[in-house]
Structure 1
Amino acid sequence: MERHVSEVEGPQRTCIGCRQVDDQSSLLRWALTQDDDGKSVVPDPRRRKSGRGAWMHPRPECAATVVRKRAFSRAFRAQVRMPADETISAAIDAFTARERADVTVQPESGSEI
């Protein structure tokens, strides 16, 4: 019997904004934290925070949809404080800068021999 090999390279996640499935590595993870003021959402670009995560494409249109539909509350199954627009923008900028840095890494001098 022949086994079907999937074309999927790694873990897949669904963007809570546009609802498209994509590679986990191309999505920004958000985590839930508890403080004195209640539950809030924080970016988790290194994917180290424990607990349930919410995944979002690092694109302004996905962020706008997340805010408009209150998708963080649905993803975390709880009433949460939305991050400020500046926090979302900064997280997207940092995530995309990291991706650009990974792609534009130049070889060390002399290593191309």
Structure 2
Amino acid sequence: MDAVRTCVACRKREARTVLLRIVVRDGRLIPDDRAVLPGRGAWVHPTARCLELAVSRGALSRALKVSGKLDAGPLENRLKTLMDN
């Protein structure tokens, strides 16, 4: 059985293979597709809706225990690429 994680945006519990792990590098949100990057990670559904919710509510900052504005640009671009395919 796959490990279960909770989306920081919608709070739904899913298998970790369904969710996308996000980490912070140099103040930017980076997708961790293989869930192997070091450091604290936050899990979110790979959808624009959940990403927008997580950013607007400050859920990613809280989950990642960072303060200040995070740059979600690289992550948003990555999600657009995923959704276009």
In the superposition, the TM-score normalised over structure 1's length comes to: 0.63
Seen in structure 2, the aligned counterparts of structure 1 residues 96 and 72 have a Cα distance that, compared at 3 Å, is: same
Structure 2 CA distance for aligned equivalents of residues 40 and 61 of structure 1: 19
Structure 2 CA distance for aligned equivalents of residues 75 and 25 of structure 1: 19
* 1:1-113 correspondence to structure 2 within 5 Å: 9-33=1-25, 35=26, 39-84=27-72, 86-95=73-82
Task: Give the alignment's Cα RMSD to 1 decimal.
Answer: 2.1
Unmatched segments (≥5 aa) in structure 1: 1-8, 101-113
The offset of 1:71, in angstroms, is 1.1
Seen in structure 2, the aligned counterparts of structure 1 residues 14 and 95 have a Cα distance that, compared at 3 Å, is: farther
Q: Choose between structure 1 and 2 for higher RCO, CA contacts under 8 A separated by at least 6 residues.
A: 2
The offset of 1:64, in angstroms, is 1.3
Aligned length: 85
Matched-pair identity in %: 31
Please identify the structure whose Cα radius of gyration is greater: 1
Q: Runs of at least 4 residues of structure 1 off by over 6 A?
A: none
Unmatched segments (≥5 aa) in structure 2: none
1:42 maps to amino acid? I
